[in-house]
């Protein structure tokens, strides 16, 4: 048999090539969801072994507190290690599947270290060339050669994007709210010099969707939140220091090599490659870790400490933090002994299996408390580390429901004639799987199940006379599912329309054209529509991500009243009942009760939400009782 080249991703059959990742045209290596979930449950212990080795050395070499070093090292190590080990397992699986073939790894372009972990994750999830460079790094562990690609044009095209793509979000603010917000910001700027003297101010940043509602309620101000200005962080980005990187990641390898080898062996990798990969991982960490998370840290941390010093006896509150600025404030707070309180910024928390979510290993370890959208406990393992769930009404949902009801439904009632029956928002598909994202983003491992579901939906809907307006997530998803979408257009005929202009979120113009919204999982948009009493259903066969044990009862209730569905036939049957009597369907007592129960747990709204938040913020302005240190 002639030699065949291993390439990361092929969108079409190429003679003399085998692909690591599946696509519509090429089989690739598809890991079942049970195996992906098992790996997700095993990864946290491995991350801990690596971080326990590198964080103390990083702290010592940079001259910073261990608590601060742990924040930076985790942000770098978790996605980088996940990327290397996931691809190593897939490469091993491919070689075992094709034992009879003479294989080599096609040479890819030389990679360059990314500026940020966010950039790295985008490349790792979408770029065939970036993944190809890692395959070349891993090849010697299996005794494979790296050779030039056997054809004139290598299939290493850069990831495609849609220049018109926008993140479309409605904050729920009225025109009056926006005027008040502007006046409050002007007043805050005029009084900036007095902020440190005001007692009771709680430092905060990146409150995401909640910011407008909190400002409109007057909760940014005296005895409330003060928005930190992070524009001066981290300062100049330092150049890579080879000696520092070698000391932090490579000279610590003996402390975590056995854990990496054991992880790979548990995943079915043979002894020889499992013993070789740990050193490759250490070299990859040393090469790829962004300078923002290593060499730039001391100066950025110093600036953040100066920013936080006036609030040292208060906790820091935030919704998200990135490595450009926010991580320096979080690390400084941890190093100064301040509590760090996270605030839920998306709908999946609590209701989805946490083992399948990235937040378990990336977000939660940085927090002492976490403000939830209604759920009140973490699963075993997370709770043991000492993080406390703090349920509060959701400012964004409580404040915005009235606005969304008007924007999404227009002036007509549920029975008003619309251009389409259903606005269908399908999920994003990642060509190579973003590292450390769990199953929150659909991987091509599940491409065939996903494609079958999409085609089945359109076929069943057109057969029953249900018209669909379909908004894919990104151009990348359209490219990956090109054949599927073409078949959907052929099967759906006049009952199916696919949008070419893409954006994220609920576009009011599209919502007003359709009777109902259909989602593929109970996402943030699901809570948004339920809170605003906008008709919404979910087609969720659980091959994407599963529910948490604590959410099974409420999801079962939503299924029994026709809101959640496992298959297209069930959805279409329920939709026709809605279309025949929309007002009766929306007001049906069993449905109303199930929706209220779900929102109380996962999208808590109250007209007096401001009072709940005011009491919570007031409690933060009091000295906190001493508490035992959290385990990392």
Lowest-confidence segment of 83-97, 148-162, 197-211, 566-580 by average pLDDT: 148-162
- 383: pLDDT confidence band, cut at 50, 70 and 90? low
Residues facing residue 391 across a β-bridge: 372
Q: How confident is the model at residue 441 (pLDDT cuts 50, 70, 90)?
A: confident
Does residue 488 register a pLDDT over 70? yes
| Kind and range of the H or E run holding 518 | strand 514-519
- pLDDT for the residue numbered 623: 58
Mean pLDDT of 241-252: 98
**pLDDT, mean over the chain:** 88
Lowest mean pLDDT among 168-177, 330-339, 482-491: 168-177
**Structural contact between residues 351 and 373, judged by C-beta atoms closer than 8 angstroms:** no
Specify the DSSP class assigned to residue 410: T
| % of the chain at pLDDT higher than 70 | 87
Residue 184, pLDDT above cutoff 50: no
pLDDT digits (tens, 9 = 90+) for 557-596: 999 999 999 999 999 999 999 999 999 999 999 999 999 9
Q: DSSP secondary structure string, 186-238?
A: HHHHHTGGGGGGSTT-EEEE--TTHHHHHHHTT-BSTTSEEE---TT-S-SPP
Q: According to the model, what pLDDT value does residue 421 have?
A: 98
Rounded to the nearest 5 percent, the helix, strand and coil shares of the chain are: 50, 10, 40
Q: Work out the average pLDDT over 93-116.
A: 90
Tens of pLDDT, residue by residue over 598-617, are 999 999 999 999 999 999 99
Q: How confident is the model at residue 177 (pLDDT cuts 50, 70, 90)?
A: low
Residue 352: strand pairing partners = 547
- Dist CA 90 CA 96 (whole Å): 10
Q: Where do the domains of the chain lie, and which CATH numbers do they carry?
A: 4-151+240-293 (no CATH), 172-235+296-392+612-620 (no CATH), 397-602 (3.40.50.2000)
Element (H, E) at 564: strand 564-565
Judging by beta carbons within 10 Å of its beta carbon (0-12, 13-18, 19+), is residue 2 exposed, middle or buried?
Answer: exposed
| Residue whose tokens read 């339920």 | 530
Whether residue 225 contacts residue 617, with contact meaning beta carbons closer than 8 Å, is answered with: yes
Per DSSP, the three-state class of 3 is coil
Cβ atoms < 10 Å from Cβ of 190: 9
pLDDT in tens, 32-61: 888 988 888 899 999 999 999 999 999 999
For 133-176, how does the pLDDT look when each residue is reduced to its tens digit (9 = 90+)?
999 999 999 999 999 876 655 555 544 555 444 555 555 555 55
Query: Closest Cα partner for 571 from 625, 517, 491?
Result: 517
**Environment class of 45 (CB within 10 Å of its CB; exposed 0-12, middle 13-18, buried 19+):** exposed
Quote the CA–CA distance of 611 and 316 in Å, as a whole number: 20
Report the pLDDT averaged over residues 503-513. 85
* Structure tokens that stand for 39 in this block: 């790996």
Higher-pLDDT residue of 111 and 71 is 71
Q: Note whether 199 and 621 are within 8 A (CB).
A: yes
Q: Which residue has the higher pLDDT, 282 or 479?
A: 282
Question: Phi/psi at 138 (nearest 5 deg)?
Answer: -80, -20
Quick one: pLDDT at residue 348? 86
């Amino acid at each position: 048999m002639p030699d065949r080249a291993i390439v990361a991703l092929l969108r079409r059959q190429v003679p003399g090539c085998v692909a690591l990742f599946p696509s519509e045209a090429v089989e690739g290596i598809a890991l079942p969801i049970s195996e992906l979930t098992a790996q997700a449950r095993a990864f946290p212990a491995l991350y801990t072994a690596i971080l326990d080795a590198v964080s103390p050395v990083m702290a010592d070499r940079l001259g910073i507190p261990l608590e601060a070093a742990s924040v930076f090292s985790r942000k770098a190590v978790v996605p980088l290690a996940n990327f290397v080990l996931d691809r190593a397992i897939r490469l091993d699986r491919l070689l075992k599947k094709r034992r009879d073939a003479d294989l080599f790894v096609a040479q890819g372009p030389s990679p360059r270290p990314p500026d940020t972990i966010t950039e790295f994750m985008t490349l790792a999830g979408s770029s065939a060339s970036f993944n190809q460079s890692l395959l070349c790094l891993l090849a010697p562990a299996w005794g494979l050669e790296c050779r030039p690609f056997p054809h004139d044009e290598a299939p290493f095209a850069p990831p495609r994007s849609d220049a018109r793509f926008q993140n479309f979000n409605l904050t729920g603010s009225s025109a009056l709210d926006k005027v008040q917000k502007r006046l409050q910001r002007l007043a805050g700027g005029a009084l900036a010099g007095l902020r440190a003297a005001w007692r009771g101010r709680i430092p905060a940043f990146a409150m995401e969707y909640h910011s407008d509602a909190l400002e409109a309620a007057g909760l940014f101000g005296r005895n409330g939140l003060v928005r930190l200005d992070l524009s001066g962080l981290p300062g100049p980005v330092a150049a890579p220091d080879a000696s520092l990187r070698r000391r932090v990641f490579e000279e610590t390898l003996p402390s975590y090599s056995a854990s990496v080898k054991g992880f790979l062996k548990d995943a079915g990798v043979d002894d020889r490659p499992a013993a070789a990969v740990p050193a490759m991982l250490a070299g990859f960490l040393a090469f790829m870790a962004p300078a923002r998370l290593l060499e730039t840290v001391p100066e950025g941390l110093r600036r953040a400490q100066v920013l936080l010093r006036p609030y040292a006896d208060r906790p820091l509150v935030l919704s998200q933090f990135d490595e450009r600025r926010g991580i320096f404030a979080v690390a400084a707070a941890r190093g100064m002994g301040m509590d760090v309180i996270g605030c839920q910024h998306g709908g999946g928390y609590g209701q989805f299996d946490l083992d399948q979510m990235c937040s378990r290993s990336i977000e939660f370890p940085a927090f002492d408390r976490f403000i939830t959208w209604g759920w009140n406990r973490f699963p075993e393992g997370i709770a043991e580390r000492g993080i406390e769930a703090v349920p509060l009404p959701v400012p964004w949902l409580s404040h915005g429901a009235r606005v969304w009801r008007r924007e999404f439904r227009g002036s007509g009632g549920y029975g008003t004639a619309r251009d389409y029956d259903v606005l269908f928002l399908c999920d994003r598909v990642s060509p190579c799987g973003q590292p450390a994202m769990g199953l929150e983003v659909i991987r091509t491992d599940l491409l065939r199940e996903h494609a079958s579901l999409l085609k089945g939906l359109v076929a069943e809907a057109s057969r029953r006379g249900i018209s669909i307006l379909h908004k894919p997530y990104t151009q990348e998803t359209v490219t990956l599912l090109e054949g599927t979408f073409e078949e959907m257009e052929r099967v759906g005929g006049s009952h199916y329309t696919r949008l070419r202009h893409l954006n994220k979120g609920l576009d009011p113009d599209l919502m007003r054209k359709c009777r109902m919204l259909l989602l593929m999982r109970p996402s943030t948009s699901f809570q948004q529509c339920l809170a605003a009493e906008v008709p919404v259903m979910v087609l969720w066969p659980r091959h994407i991500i599963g529910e948490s044990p604590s959410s099974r009862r409420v999801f079962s209730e939503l299924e029994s009243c026709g809101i959640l569905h496992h298959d297209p036939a069930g959805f279409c049957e329920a939709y026709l009942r809605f279309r025949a009597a929309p007002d009766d369907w929306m007001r049906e007592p069993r449905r109303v009760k199930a929706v209220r129960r779900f929102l109380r747990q996962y999208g808590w709204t109250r007209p007096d939400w401001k009072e709940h938040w005011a009491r919570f913020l007031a409690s933060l302005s009091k000295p906190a009782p001493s508490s035992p240190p959290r385990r990392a």
